[in-house]
């Protein structure tokens, strides 16, 4: 799962009150500049959980709950690897792709040089997040002896980009909106993981490091979206407002493909794995989770008047993101 709902004070910088120049202190405060490489500890810390158990929904399914501890540890490890591999691929393939457009003055709107300079800082941050995600996978594989199953980001990316494919003239705009959405969602996982004392320290440390950087990115992208929205033609505003609900929902779908591979790997038949997944991630709770994770993003859209576009509020309601 990309993200889980719930707020945490240290990443909840309220963008309305925040100084949009939040990246001015980047040289002193960013993780890449100020924190050491996180390494898996040499004691028996590795015997702790690889991921908070309550966040791995399929672990609580009766058919999985009755399996032995070795199996559960394997599933936890695979869940962690999936999350880290997804993070790595998303940072590089989606966040950096759009942030580069801003940095290189190719985003279709005029932005001050400070905004472009900050985009370069974010490119560095996101590349570093990708690096320590891969580094953590490598270290944990080595120390635990549990090998990561292959991870394929392409289906997720294709699904996300399909929205832009329907609007080829707006491809660049869609990429910018993608990054705004993802960078303003409530990154609940990053908040919950550091709090769980039963989780391997390396995992908690990188989640905490990541959350602190993302708090600054949130302010930056909320501000950037205001600039973008303010300079769009009426027709383009209409397109953006119409595709946002789908974009939010696709960004937050649980990563059930990887969970299903892990279940099959431990001996469940494809049909059994399918039903465990279907019962663990039912549509109602998935939608409730997405709605909660997107609450802050939708609040920003409200503030900029995006939902006042004709049909926009109805589109959000039809997708289950708002009440009718």
Query: Which spans of this chain sit near Fe ion (rule: CB under 5 A)?
Result: 126, 129, 214, 217
Instruction: Give min distance, CB of 13 to Fe ion, in A.
Output: 13
Query: What would the DSSP string read from start to end of 21-37?
Result: TGGGGHHHHSHHHHSPP
Phi-psi region of 285 (alpha: psi -120 to 50; beta: other; left: phi over 0): alpha
Is the C-alpha dihedral spanning 122, 123, 125, 129 positive or negative? positive
Instruction: Give min distance, CB of 232 to Fe ion, in A.
Output: 23
Q: Which is nearer to Fe ion, 95 or 244 (CB)?
A: 95
Instruction: Give min distance, CB of 290 to Fe ion, in A.
Output: 19
Q: Which is nearer to Fe ion, 219 or 239 (CB)?
A: 219
Is the C-alpha dihedral spanning 317, 188, 85, 224 positive or negative? positive
CA pair distance 251, 85, nearest whole angstrom: 16
| Residue 205, CB-side half-sphere exposure with 13 Å CA sphere | 15
Dig out the tokens for 76 from the structure: 């936890």
What DSSP character marks residue 93?
I
Q: Which is nearer to Fe ion, 135 or 214 (CB)?
A: 214
Instruction: Give min distance, CB of 19 to Fe ion, in A.
Output: 18
Q: Which residue minimizes CB distance to Fe ion?
A: 217
Q: Which is nearer to Fe ion, 219 or 290 (CB)?
A: 219
Q: Which is nearer to Fe ion, 49 or 183 (CB)?
A: 183
Dig out the tokens for 63 from the structure: 């058919």
Instruction: Give min distance, CB of 205 to Fe ion, in A.
Output: 15
């Amino acid at each position: 799962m990309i993200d889980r709902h719930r707020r945490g004070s240290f990443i909840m910088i309220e963008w309305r009150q925040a100084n949009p120049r939040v990246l001015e202190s980047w040289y002193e405060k960013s993780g890449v500049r100020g924190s050491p490489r996180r390494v898996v500890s040499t004691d028996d810390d590795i015997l702790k959980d690889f991921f908070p158990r309550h966040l791995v929904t399929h672990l609580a399914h009766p058919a999985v709950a009755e399996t032995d501890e070795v199996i559960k540890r394997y599933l936890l490890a695979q869940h962690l690897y999936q999350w880290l591999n997804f993070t790595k691929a998303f940072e590089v393939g989606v966040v950096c792709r759009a942030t580069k457009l801003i940095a290189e003055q190719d985003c279709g709107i005029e932005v001050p040089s400070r905004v472009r300079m900050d985009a370069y800082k974010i490119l560095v941050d996101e590349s570093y997040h990708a690096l320590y995600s891969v580094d953590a996978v490598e270290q944990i594989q080595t120390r635990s002896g549990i090998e990561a199953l292959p991870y394929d980001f392409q289906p997720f990316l294709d699904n996300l980009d399909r929205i832009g494919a329907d609007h080829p003239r707006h491809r660049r705009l869609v990429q910018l909106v993608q990054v705004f959405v993802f960078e303003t969602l409530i990154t609940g996982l990053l908040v919950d993981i550091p709090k769980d004392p039963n989780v391997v320290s390396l995992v908690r440390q990188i989640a905490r490091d990541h959350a602190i950087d993302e708090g600054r990115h949130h302010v930056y992208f909320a501000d950037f979206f205001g600039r973008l929205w303010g300079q769009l033609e009426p027709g383009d505003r209409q397109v953006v407002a119409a595709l946002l609900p789908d974009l939010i929902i696709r960004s937050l779908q649980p990563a059930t493909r990887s969970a299903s591979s892990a279940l099959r790997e431990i001996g469940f038949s494809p049909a059994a794995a399918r039903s465990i997944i279907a019962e663990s991630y039912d549509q109602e709770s998935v939608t409730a989770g997405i709605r909660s994770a997107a609450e802050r993003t939708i609040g920003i859209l409200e503030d900029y008047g995006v939902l006042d576009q004709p049909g926009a509020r109805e589109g959000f309601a039809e997708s289950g993101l708002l009440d009718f």
